Structure 1
Amino acid sequence: MSLRVGIVVGEASGDMLGAGLMAALQKRYPDAVFEGIGGPRMLALGFNSFFPQDRLAVMGLIEPLKRLFELLRIRRHLATHFSRNPPDVFIGIDSPDFTLSLEETLRAKGIATVHYVSPSVWAWRQKRIVKIARAVDLMLTLLPFEASFYQQHQVPVCFVGHPLADQIPLHSDQQAARASLGLDAQVRYVALLPGSRGGEVNILGPVFWRAAAWCLQQCPDVQFVVPAANAARRVQIEQQLAALPTPLPLQIIDGQSQTVMTAAEVVLMASGTTSLEAMLLKRPMVVAYKFSKLGYWILSRLVKTRHFALPNLLADEPLVPEILQDDVTPERLGREVLAYLQQPQEVRRLQQRFTEIHEHIRCDASEKAAAAVLQLIGRE
């Protein structure tokens, strides 16, 4: 019996998840049909995309408003198509502002719905759980504490693990990473990752460079390496570095952030998914973030979690320093970085905890997600 699956993804990370899920489902159902909106990885597996995936890739508050009528038109088209041609299951991958409303419409028509990647409802805007409960027959989460939240609210959920934990080996090779980047095997390197977006680098970059200069005064043999997310970020970083009163022993690498982190002894970074990558690479880190004053005022009243760095959220304890807002100063960041360089026993303890968490979320996510979807519709 053939299988027909509707999927909508809105960004590159969703395309990666969607392709992994498709491949796992195709092992069981080689003739399965997949349609909706997908990215290049999914298209390569035979996905039929009604619209280019990048039409959904909007960020911030202003861009979605500018494209509101187009987004509503796309969603109406998808709702009409799947209502008239019901799939065995519909799966929304991330992009919750777009996909959850579509899932709610289709579920009301009797179509089984799955949402893959939990919104951060456990951290803020927790009332969204009411809409999620109406919209989905099953939530697939990447992280275990997310599943606990849904269980508490009686929403069917399955923790499938994180694909990054499957892709990144349990033990990373620092010397191989240095060789591939042309870095000295004997030097102590600190990786600086002030973010991938212009706004983040604009706020955090100057503080990170001054923190590096502070570290250099205390520890003259340390050197620094920075992965530039793209050409625009490289230009932005170079301009900021040129404004420093004293040049830094710093090398800019185009992309390759995972390799750069692997090559380093310590990572100073902006908060985000990259902190999960650093943890999986077993690199000690200092996590920092700054918002506008208004943004911080709003978020401080909405966010319900004790931690914001993903390693600390996963451990439910302060494994790594997380430094926020007015505490983000060169001296504070520099002290935390040097503490790792001066305490190798603490680094070893931290790496052991990182390994334990890595093993916990390394669950063969795509295979587990496929099994959960098929079980939902009685096809496993």
Structure 2
Amino acid sequence: MRSVRIGIVAGEASGDILGAGLMRALQARYPQIAFEGIGGELMIAAGCRSLYPMERLSVMGLVEVLGRVPELLRERKRLVRHFIQHPPDLFIGIDAPDFTLGMERQLKAAGIPTVHYVSPSVWAWKRKRIFKIKQSTDLLLTLFPFEAKVYAPTRQNLRYVGHPLAELIPAQIDLAAAQAEYRAQLPERASLVALLPGSRGSEIKYLARPFLDTARWLQNQRAELHFILPAANQRRYTQLQTLIAQEYGDLKLQLVLQGSREVMAVADAILIASGTATLEACLLKKPMVVAYRMAGLTYAIYSRMIKSRWISLPNVLAGEEMVPEILQQQVTPEVLGPLVLRALEDSDYRERLGEVFGAIGEQLRQNASERAADAVAELLEAQRVDAGV
């Protein structure tokens, strides 16, 4: 049985999900396979030997990342040196393009086959990156069907695999158990609004208070409303618990540790930070209001580069504005509150949204981890043939 060694790096929680699914699919094809690099809890549980804490890579924004640049560059240099000295059969970078694409370019130049899983958002901004991506990767695995057209000028070796979340959601959610856990103490007809301000420290900094202020505004409009806020990890839980105890003790609010998918599944509407979680909410066919704030200088730079009409995946995939997107100084209770009420109360809107989001789920449900593993295996075997093994 042929042994295979894979270098693999993910930079945040969404990449950890993708990486773990791909690892398990590859393990079924190559029982004697080993993975090392950077992974989160899911990838480590699947067998990845992580050489550096994944959460240290999870930095969002241009200004916010500046203080971390020396550390990140040192770690990337160390990893590249490690993999060149101990070459894997193949290297896979999962999302986190600012970190992984630089690694891939150097490793490919050293003769190591490279795969990039998740196309950077070249359809939204910095489209000329497609040429650098071609130089860095032997294979690009994309999650969304419209991305192949963007890469056509480079003749990139590309495989559309769909999105693993389309299989995971809602199939792996025990809705009855989630209802029992999160709604058992609520009055029978109470509406439940989920608050998801994000998992990064910068997101909590900029969005936690506006989201909680919006919950207070909503509670003043409809006293029967209840709220639930899932914290991504223990650190965020402690941070939010302190904030709520000091400033928001009047809210009918449950703070829970993790379980964001189950929380979204039982919620009637969601106030959510822009990011992968919006796709999860879309796959659950939930009405939502998307919001985002970042440092003013970061936004000033990003806003000049973004070419897409929308920032949230539900709208991009629908090709129209199905959910409101509220940014920067507009992220206030007076703006967000009425939009959440519409998401709760407009039955025609909720019905159409369910139909559109259902169609998106069908389009993305492609058995992504298996398709991605097939493409990686083809590249591995092609390299083996070329090497005369």
TM-score tier, shorter chain, comes to 0.7 to 0.9
The answer to whether the Cα contact below 8 Å between 1:117 and 1:142 also exists between their aligned partners in 2 is yes
Q: Separation in 2 of the partners of 1:360 and 1:315?
A: 11
What corresponds to 2:62 in structure 1?
A: none
Residue-by-residue CA offset, 1:250-303 (whole Å, 9 max, x unaligned):
222222111111121000111111111111122110001112221211111111
Change (3 A) 1:337 1:171: farther
What corresponds to 1:24 in structure 2?
A: 25
Q: Separation in 1 of the partners of 2:157 and 2:50?
A: 29
The answer to whether the Cα contact below 8 Å between 1:175 and 1:263 also exists between their aligned partners in 2 is no
1:165 aligns with 2:166: yes
Q: Separation in 2 of the partners of 1:280 and 1:132?
A: 29
Shift of 1:104: 2.3
What corresponds to 1:108 in structure 2?
A: 109
Q: Separation in 1 of the partners of 2:17 and 2:116?
A: 15
SS class of match (1:122): coil
Equivalent position amino acid for 2:51 in 1: F
The answer to whether the Cα contact below 8 Å between 1:79 and 1:102 also exists between their aligned partners in 2 is no
Q: Quick check: 72-81 or 168-177, which moved more?
A: 168-177
Q: Separation in 2 of the partners of 1:292 and 1:46?
A: 37
373, 379, 389: which is aligned to 1:370?
A: 373
Q: Quick check: 270-279 or 150-159, which moved more?
A: 150-159
Q: Separation in 2 of the partners of 1:171 and 1:177?
A: 11
179, 190, 195: which is aligned to 1:192?
A: 195
Correspondence 1:291-370 to 2 at 5 A = 291-370=294-373
The answer to whether the Cα contact below 8 Å between 2:173 and 2:262 also exists between their aligned partners in 1 is no
What corresponds to 1:80 in structure 2?
A: 85
TM-score, normalised by the number of residues in structure 2: 0.86
Equivalent position amino acid for 1:149 in 2: V
Change (3 A) 1:90 1:26: same
Q: Separation in 2 of the partners of 1:42 and 1:366?
A: 13
The answer to whether the Cα contact below 8 Å between 1:215 and 1:334 also exists between their aligned partners in 2 is yes
SS class of match (2:203): helix
Correspondence 1:44-55 to 2 at 5 A = 49=49, 51-52=51-52, 54=54
SS class of match (1:6): strand
Equivalent position amino acid for 2:2 in 1: S
Residue-by-residue CA offset, 1:337-362 (whole Å, 9 max, x unaligned):
11122212211211111111111111
The answer to whether the Cα contact below 8 Å between 1:241 and 1:247 also exists between their aligned partners in 2 is no
Q: Separation in 2 of the partners of 1:334 and 1:45?
A: 41
Q: Separation in 1 of the partners of 2:215 and 2:47?
A: 48
Structure 2: unaligned runs, 5 residues or longer = 60-64, 385-389
Shift of 1:143: 2.2
What corresponds to 1:149 in structure 2?
A: 150
Shift of 1:323: 0.8
219, 222, 233: which is aligned to 2:225?
A: 222
Residue-by-residue CA offset, 1:110-135 (whole Å, 9 max, x unaligned):
44322112223332333322221111
Q: Separation in 1 of the partners of 2:86 and 2:153?
A: 34
Q: What is the aligned-residue identity percentage? A: 46
Q: Separation in 2 of the partners of 1:138 and 1:171?
A: 30
Shift of 1:244: 4.7
Change (3 A) 1:356 1:239: same
69, 75, 90: which is aligned to 1:64?
A: 69
Aligned residues: 374
What corresponds to 2:37 in structure 1?
A: 37
Shift of 1:52: 4.2
Structure 1: unaligned runs, 5 residues or longer = none
The answer to whether the Cα contact below 8 Å between 2:292 and 2:328 also exists between their aligned partners in 1 is yes
Q: Separation in 2 of the partners of 1:108 and 1:246?
A: 57
The answer to whether the Cα contact below 8 Å between 2:38 and 2:54 also exists between their aligned partners in 1 is no
What corresponds to 1:91 in structure 2?
A: 92
TM-score, normalised by the number of residues in structure 1: 0.87
Equivalent position amino acid for 2:274 in 1: S
The answer to whether the Cα contact below 8 Å between 1:188 and 1:223 also exists between their aligned partners in 2 is yes
Shift of 1:377: 4.5
Shift of 1:30: 2.9
Equivalent position amino acid for 2:170 in 1: P
Shift of 1:243: 5.3
Shift of 1:175: 5.3
Change (3 A) 1:306 1:26: same
SS class of match (2:31): coil
Change (3 A) 1:348 1:108: same
Change (3 A) 1:17 1:3: farther
Correspondence 1:246-285 to 2 at 5 A = 247-285=250-288
RMSD: 2.8
Shift of 1:68: 3.1
What corresponds to 2:214 in structure 1?
A: 211
Shift of 1:2: 2.2
